Amino acid sequence: MQEEELKRERARLIERNKELTCLYEIAKIMADKQKNFPQMLQAILVLLPPAFQHPDRTGARIAVGDLTFATEGFEISPHMIREPLMIQGRAQGVMEVVCCRADGERDPFLPEERALLRTIASQSALMIEKKLASDKQAELEGQLRHADRLAKIGQLTAGMAHELNEPLSSILGFAQLAAKKIDSPEVAARYLDRIVHSCLHAREIIRKMMLFSSPMPQRKRRVDLNRLLAEGMLFIEPRFPQSAIRFESSFDPTLPTILADSSQITQVLVNLVINAIHAMPDGGSLVLKTVAMQGRARMIVQDTGIGMDAQTREQIFLPFFTTKDVDQGTGLGLSVVHGIVTAHGGTIEVQSQIGRGATFIIDFPADEQEEAP
């Protein structure tokens, strides 16, 4: 008698172990974000027959909406248990388990198996609900990204059209005037000079846009950043006295060399310094310095100008974004700076507050060949 009781207890433990294994595997399926919705349902379907006491005689089917998955040889049988899949508060599917070739048995399913199917159906419905919500969220995020791209393209197109409209209007106007003054070569020549000037201005806008979209350095070589910055400032320093700007420089003698296009790095310097001058209409202080970092060469441009708020800081690297008057810039300077720095493998950071000036911090990777010895 005791031996029979032990056998029954052992059988119950085996069945319980199969149920727990099934629930554990379903939990793993839910945690696997690589599987799509149909793959999840198919994986759960495979787990159902082994969780019952007669796996060789058990079939299963899962139906959700238009999707239906069934084990091989599944067929409708009088011996069937089923549970609805309650998704978002209503039945949107069903989970069915049948026991085939059980004509002589009154009820081939244990009470524990019925409870197991209810648990699996509940867990599966929860998984399906989360998956549908995740898919919906991903779809909405995709729509938002698409709308954001369209907005930026519209902004870029509008800025480009505005910037090119001015030189094109000048070209058209002076060409018409020149055509009327063909009998006066001197006047016509002045108009043609204006046309050439407007063409060069339009070409410069296009060149900066191309540099922003594909700012690949053309002539990278080993560069002493300290020397390059000092030479670049020789052309800008004469502007400081007339602008009431005090200039200070501090170059770290231990600064490592970098691989860079000298002309593009000079363009970065000029753009940042000219912006700093425009930010200090009543004078101020401009500091240019370099600092040797671990594996990097840091360049810092700091001014005591009008500063920027958080919203402006987020947009300064966008093409055609500018806080200057129409005749003072195209709004491409900082976007070109960002493109050049990124193309050189560097990073750029801006720190600024209204009334407290701005600081641009640029890090370039050090020349690895120099560091190797």
Domain check: are 185 and 295 in the same one?
Answer: no
Residue 146's pLDDT is: 72
CATH no. for residue 272? 3.30.565.10
* pLDDT number for residue 11: 65
The predicted structure's pLDDT at residue 160: 65
Please check whether residues 115 and 155 belong to one and the same domain: no
Q: Are 208 and 129 in a shared domain?
A: no
Residues 254, 367: one domain?
yes
State the Cα torsion 27-31-32-33 to the nearest 10°.
Answer: 150
As a whole number of angstroms, the distance between CA 97 and CA 143 comes to 40
Tokens of 168: 């094109």
Q: 211-245, pLDDT tens digit by residue? A: 555 555 567 889 999 999 998 888 788 778 777 88
**Residue 1: which pLDDT band, with cuts at 50, 70 and 90?**
low
Given 168, 191, 213, which residue is the final one in a domain?
Answer: 213
Rounded Cα gap, residues 304 and 279, in angstroms? 8
User: The domain spanning residue 182 has which CATH number?
Assistant: 1.10.287
Q: Give me the domain span that covers residue 155.
A: 148-213
Buried b (16+ CB within 10 A) or exposed e, 194-216: bbeebeebbeebeebbebbeebe
Asked whether the beta carbons of 298 and 361 are under 8 A apart, the reply is yes
Q: How far is CA 240 from CA 71, 95, 244, 331, in A?
A: 82, 80, 6, 23
Same-domain pairing of 344 and 230: yes
For residue 255, how many other CB atoms are within 10 A of its CB?
Answer: 22
Lowest mean pLDDT among 44-53, 110-119, 324-333, 347-356: 324-333
Do 229 and 336 lie in one domain? The reply is: yes
Residues 132 and 7 in one domain: yes
* Residue 320 Ramachandran class (φ > 0 left, ψ -120 to 50 alpha, else beta): left
pTM over 0.75: no
Residue 92 confidence (pLDDT): 84
When mean pLDDT is compared across 58-62, 99-103, 239-243, 287-291, the lowest value belongs to 99-103
What's residue 300's pLDDT?
94
The Cα 140–Cα 143 span in angstroms is 5
User: Which pLDDT score is estimated for 66?
Assistant: 82
Share of the chain above pLDDT 70, in %: 83
- Cα(154)–Cα(132) distance, rounded to whole angstroms? 33
The predicted structure's pLDDT at residue 331: 46
Q: Residue-wise over 52-79: b if at least 16 C-beta within 10 A, else e?
A: bbeeebbbbbbbbeeeebebeebeebeb
Identify whether residues 271 and 156 lie together within a single domain. Answer: no
Q: Which has the minimum average pLDDT: 35-44, 126-135, 143-152?
A: 143-152
- Quick check: 350 and 359 in contact, CB under 8 A? yes
**169 lies in the same domain as 229:** no
CA distance 125 to 212: 50
pLDDT tens track for 248-276: 999 999 999 999 988 888 888 988 888 88
**Backbone φ/ψ region at 352: left (φ over 0), alpha (ψ -120 to 50), beta:** beta
Last residue of a domain, one of 139, 159, 174: 139
Query: Are residues 287 and 226 located together in one domain of the fold?
Result: yes
Domain count, the chain: 3
254 and 170 both lie in a single domain: no
Q: Which of 56, 92, 61, 91 has the alpha carbon at shortest distance from 74?
A: 61
Q: Is the pLDDT of residue 369 over 70?
A: no
Residues 262 and 358 in one domain: yes
Q: Please identify, among 160, 178, 213, the residue that sits at the C-terminal boundary of a domain.
A: 213
Kind of pairing between the strands at 296-303 and 358-365: antiparallel
User: What is the C-alpha separation between 310 and 121, in angstroms, rounded?
Assistant: 50
